[in-house]
Structure 1
């Protein structure tokens, strides 16, 4: 299996902090008395075809959550649909059954759960509760909307079971249902009223494709990460002890050095500079590990003297603004440096539970010390106010454009929601709150982004995919499967993309120091949706597979091929509306080819990856026929010739960047709208029939429809196969699995299988056999 499986968020972590941390946006209001027909079902994980009702505690909390939105619950009796629900597992078919059970209702909600024991952790019994909520309107041409969530819970006694686990997470289930309706009701479409007529449209103040902060990336933005000590030494007088031969020692970089290089960064194409932490830090090594990186903060209220002072930091921000550039500060809220003053003066501000022993235990991840760094008890109000006060002060003193927020996975989501809302209220909605969640699971990333109230997050799933495809020779269609997860994110256009960072191996090392491979990875990253981020030295080909080698000293040479390549790509991005905000339209996804277009009404740019040895023709959809074609990197026009342009030739090797211009202004408008709806999972769908000759196999893959790579949610064949309704234009990866030893699954070997859903009226039919492609 490719994607890393993660257990859900453990809910009991925040119980003690609930009183001071709970805060939420006001619910969207429907017309008074709007009826919602609701059905509930729990699928038995172990016994196929067995279902059960959910506890009354869950139902009551859902009723309360919907009542806050002026929604009146009409519960469909469980006995009326239980037998039919037991026969099918497809949510869409169940939703259709629900609508048939309550044909007069204007709105519908389906709540499906699966409950699995996770094991004993620290004397408590851990369970995972999976919840899918699906909502839709009567007589709507749109597909119903779904949200999938995992919740972890620890029960006190071994005899407690599935109903107890569901009851414990009833508040979160109801919040999930309510949140789905907040998004659902905020649509500009009219909401049916209780009498079946048309109610007043519910207005939403949120702009489309934005997160909870309404943060919108500046046009043509690109972020550049500077590790201050490793970048440039602008003032040797503040160096202290340095040793350039010791990779764990300080090397003398400072704020003045960053200022001296701003013109070069702007020339490269950078518009935002993100600094590693510049606050007063522990400077001595800890068990041989260096402190130069800045993440061992000692005093959040002061600037580290080795880097300069507060006045110099203010000057850096001013120099950036003078160049129409921006500053982002790195903020560490989870921990402080080892043996720092705050630990001695305020021991009660820390959890003091020792280092993390089990990195798969969600409770340890947020309560224990990361690599021995003292973990702040942020649920205590005095600790929270200390962090918030300093955060606000730096906003006022320096006026940065935003904060990069460290170690998101090691702090409760309720803390992040409170902190981000409080800081946003002080700094403004356009203040960037960028979360670092180093995880390859897009479902977890999307949930964290939404529930934590972040402006945006780093797109680690895409980063890992870029390395896999261009450095490890994985199928280029893997990029399509990862990008199709965009429909899960609150604001995919704001995600910050990367190919590496200071916590990962350098992309040059990952690609075996092959510059051409790195250029291909950068070509896809810098033309993808989102805001591209670069790690200092990528333009110089810096290497390093692990710390501290991946945090080496910056070089400044004028003629490295990657410098010119990055500069050219960023220049193209700034000059292209399609590369900045175009809708995604997949043209081809095969084991040996991936081609997609980013489309606006006035421009389309095709990005195509052909790792083979021969050119490949890619057919164009009707909406792009007759366009004028040019090569984006060179600007060369292709001769149009007689007839209509119907296909593109994708050459092997380098990534192809082809620009299409319509014959009339706005000529791609209809296609752009269609592409946007498809990519959000709201467009037309196609039946996909996958036949198997072995009833023991199951299917699991990317996306909620295929179980999200969790074998306990894998699909079982019905009547000799799997019948699915999937979005047109979707790209999925999947594998076959079988029941193994109790509680385990056997996976078929080899690479992931690929499923691309092209346009077509007839069902897409494929035959599958275990281990055969």
Structure 2
């Protein structure tokens, strides 16, 4: 490998998509090592071993049809930088969250050219690329005083890290931000983001990274573990959409971070939704309570969130219930909220892994089958109805959802004219009628449940009666929304929207005069990037 210096401060960047551009997207999350291999093989992959299984950037590129055909127009991949090598007491760094070198890629995933080819292939399809980034820490298998820092890049001095202390109290924000995550088996060395040198280095690095690989968005790992006022300059330097991980069930605590980055993963809603639909005795009221809280505490309300049901850190939903109707209701909610829908790979295949590492199964064991897969079909319909609503209503994305009605087992939420009636009655639950008023539909408006393709007619007052059968959700829109959607026998539009300005590939190495100028004005100058 040859380390080629890239001028960070003056590099020509990708014209990244804005937060508004991302709002219309839906994201498919990939654990790179577990999605697809370069040669299409299906090697053994025992999640309990916590070892690399062979998934690569090339593997993702070769299976973009699978992702796009489900209606997704963006992907989120694992962190890409070089991680610590070898095996630890917690296995290998196949997941990408144990970085040690910002300026080289994780060669287990492929080469820089492989990643650029993935980016280009996505953009050719009108899709976006989101890359996970880890800023809070580097990883080590030892702790001070035996820990040596010289092997880390670029933070190779003890002063680049906070002094060792373990987080003992997650309610103590100083500890959360300045103490270390992990333990003596794998210590996550807390980087000193109060240091001007660290801050400048990070800002230059992220600017170069997004530019060089034509990245459209970043997902920020462990964002709450860094002081909030670090983030605005970092996000601005990236030049792309940002969404942070704030693991908390507190809406006000989580929502405050939307004042420092574009969006956050909506963990408070995740806690509510999983508790509501994991069983037939779940508490539906938690969702009704959560929606107005989100709109109160999050910048732009729920619009500044990423909505999800599963991810790489949490047990899969189907480890809690295999009742398909409950699963469909919970999955549907992800697509009808104000946030950007995010689907974790394997969810559509009915994967059932529990706590990690069990929830990081290899997708090749599914053979990427889409026929006779009820959850694949469900995802296709949910993506389609969301896109149909966006196409039919120019204000759909900016319109905040509202609760129309809720009771012990049922809830109806509405965003624009997209009405979603959800239930935790379960597949063996008795049939129920859910009477909905205040929907805003016109008298006798012709509607359709896009999941069953059953026609519904609003009454003379615009009210709607929903008849739940088999515990299935109903996702209702005006019949006029079907045109071009591919839903319920309608034809599907072939229109493809190119990403807003992610067409330029990469940073350009500039001449000596430009490099000299950057050095003179004190901007971080030349940093190596492996090519």
**Offset at 1:633?**
2.4
Change (3 A) 1:532 1:622: closer
Judge conservation of contact 2:162–2:179 (CA < 8 Å) in 1.
Answer: yes
**Residue from 265, 288, 293 that aligns with 1:458:** 265
Tell me the equivalent position of 2:165: 354
Aligned residues of 2:220 and 2:242 also touching (Cα < 8 A):
yes
Distance change in 2, residues 1:606/1:594 (3 Å): same
Distance 1:374 1:477 in 2: 40
Structure 1 position 356, deviation (Å): 2.2
Match for residue 566 of structure 1? 379
Specify the SS of the correspondent of 1:624: coil
Deviation (angstroms), 1:282: 1.0
The answer on 1:261 being equivalent to 2:76 is no
Q: 1:607 aligns with which of 421, 444, 450?
A: 421
**Equivalent residue number for residue 525 of structure 2:** none
Map 1:294-305; keep pairs closer than 5 Å.
Answer: 294-305=96-107
Matched with 1:762 is none
SS at match of 2:50: coil
* C-alpha distance in structure 1 between counterparts of 2:457 and 2:179, whole Å: 64
Task: Give the 5 Å matches for 1:349-748.
Answer: 349-371=160-182, 372-423=187-238, 427=239, 431-450=240-259, 453-472=260-279, 473-485=281-293, 486-491=295-300, 492-511=302-321, 513-554=322-363, 555=366, 556-559=368-371, 560-577=373-390, 580-599=397-416, 603-609=417-423, 611=425, 613-621=430-438, 623-626=440-443, 627-638=445-456, 645-652=462-469, 653-660=471-478
CA shift, 1:283, in A, is: 2.4
Superposition deviation, residue 438 in structure 1: 1.0
Q: In the aligned structure 2, how far is the partner of 1:582 from the partner of 1:474? A: 28
Pick from 91, 99, 122 the counterpart of residue 289 of structure 1.
91
Aligned residues: 434
Question: Helix, strand or coil: the match of 1:490?
Answer: coil
1:657 aligned counterpart, secondary structure:
strand
TM-score, normalised via structure 2 length: 0.76
Identify if the C-alpha distance between structure 1 residues 592 and 568 changes in structure 2 by more than 3 Å, giving closer, same or farther: closer
TM-score of the two chains, using structure 1 as the length reference: 0.53
- Aligned partner of 1:345 in structure 2 is 156
Does the 8 Å contact 1:335/1:376 carry over to 2? Answer: yes
Q: Describe the superposition over 1:23-76 as per-residue Cα deviations: whole angstroms up to 9, x where unpaired.
A: xxxxxxxxxxxxxxxxxxxxxxxxxxxxxxxxxxxxxxxxxxxxxxxxxxxxxx
Shift of 1:328: 0.7
* Contact 1:229-1:254 within 8 A present in 2 as well: yes
Tell me the alpha carbon deviations over residues 253-292 of structure 1, each in whole angstroms, 9 at most, x when there is no partner: 1111111111111001111111101111112222233311
Matches within 5 A, 1:15-414: 215-218=19-22, 220-235=24-39, 244-245=45-46, 247-339=49-141, 341-342=151-152, 345-371=156-182, 372-414=187-229
Hey, what's the Cα distance between the residues in 1 that align with 2:171 and 2:319? 28
Q: Quote the offset at 1:640 in angstroms.
A: 6.8
- CA distance change for structure 1 residues 386 and 539 in 2, over 3 Å: closer, same or farther? same
More displaced 10-residue stretch of structure 1: 586-595 or 253-262: 586-595
**Contact 2:329–2:424 (8 Å) recurs in 1:** no
SS at match of 2:139: coil
1:575 CA displacement? 1.0
CA distance, structure 2, for counterparts of residue 640 and residue 657 of structure 1: 14
Q: Any unmatched runs of 5+ in structure 1?
A: 1-212, 663-773
Question: Residues 268-317 of structure 1: CA distance to partner in whole angstroms, max 9, x if unpaired?
Answer: 11111111011111122222333111111111111111111111111110
1:648 aligned counterpart, secondary structure = strand
**Cα distance in 2, alignment partners of residues 523 and 604 from structure 1:** 12
Map of 1:132 onto structure 2: none
Please name the residue that 1:103 is paired with: none
Q: Is the CA contact 1:439–1:461 (under 8 Å) kept in the aligned structure 2? A: yes
Q: Distance in 1 between matches of 2:369 and 2:436?
A: 43
CA distance in 1, matches of 2:299, 2:192: 29
1:61 paired residue number: none
What secondary structure is seen at the aligned counterpart in 1 of 2:107?
coil
Give RMSD over aligned pairs.
Answer: 2.6
Say which structure, 1 or 2, has more relative contact order (CA 8 Å, 6+ apart).
2
Distance 2:420 2:250 in 1: 27
Q: What is the CA–CA distance in structure 2 between the aligned matches of 1:521 and 1:622, rounded to whole Å?
A: 22
Rounded Cα–Cα distance in structure 2 between residues aligned with 1:268 and 1:661: 22
* Structure 2 unaligned regions, length at least 5: 1-16, 142-148, 481-531
**1:622 Cα deviation after fit:** 8.0
Tell me: CA distance 1:657–1:359, structure 2 relative to 1, closer, same or farther (3 Å): same
Contact 1:524/1:607 (CA < 8 Å) preserved in 2? no
Tell me if structure 2 keeps the 8 A contact 1:496–1:533: yes
SS at match of 2:359: helix
SS in 2 for 1:532: strand
Secondary structure at 1:351's aligned position in 2? coil
Q: Deviations over 1:426-485 (max 9, x none)?
A: x2xxx21111101111101111211xx211111111111111111133232321111111
